[in-house]
Amino acid sequence: MSQRTFSIIKPDAIRKGHAGAILADIEKAGFKIVAIKKLSITKPQAEGFYYVHRERPFFGSLTEFMSSGPIMALVLEKDNAIADLRKLMGATNPANAEEGTIRKKYASSIEENAIHGSDAEDTAKFEIGYFFAGHEMV
Ligand code: GDP
């Protein structure tokens, strides 16, 4: 069944000029881009987005990184979008990511790992709403 998920092309990938290649991989994998914007977020905005990770030891570093430069926020649609995007992204740590995945190709570390993708339907809903209004999704 058609499903929506939320994704971020992270600051490391934007800095290295990989945004276009990542968008091409996403489209080649059959996702429709329903919404897209390039923007910078503040540290407090990154903290709100990653609220579930607030107790993790890397929370400060992660939110510093996510507010360190422009990102691209995306809403993506296809059958089984949430699981299929996670598969296309690869493991959190690029050292463990499978060949051909976005993190294997473009990520440099467990933190600077090129892309975010929602991990469940409820988080996808929250994350889409954090970045996009209904009228921005087409
Ligand atoms: P994801 O769902 O694969 O993005 O991974 P998580 O939800 O577990 O973590 C969210 C993000 O936090 C990851 O994508 C990384 O950018 C960062 N992260 C996860 N684990 C670590 C870690 O052990 N150290 C650091 N510095 N960052 C991490």
Query: Residue 96: CB within 6 Å of ligand 1?
Result: no
Domain 2-133, CATH 3.30.70.141 — does that match? yes
Could you report the per-residue pLDDT of 57-97, keeping only the tens digit for each? 999 999 999 999 999 999 999 999 999 999 999 999 999 99
Could you report the per-residue pLDDT of 106-134, keeping only the tens digit for each? 999 999 999 999 999 999 999 999 999 99
Task: Identify the pLDDT of residue 126.
Answer: 98
> Is residue 1 predicted with pLDDT exceeding 90?
no
Q: In what order do the strands lie in the sheet with 32-39?
A: 32-39, 71-79, 2-9, 115-117
Which ligand 1 atom is nearest residue 65's CA?
16
Selection from 109, 114, 90, 99 nearest residue 17 by Cα: 114
What is the pTM (predicted TM-score) of this model? 0.98
Query: Residue 113: CB within 6 Å of ligand 1?
Result: yes
> What is the 111 CA–ligand 1 centroid distance (Å)?
6
What's the pLDDT band for 50 if we cut at 50, 70, 90? very high
For the chain, the structural domain boundaries read: 2-133
For the question of residue 116 being annotated catalytic, the response is yes
> What is the 132 CA–ligand 1 centroid distance (Å)?
23
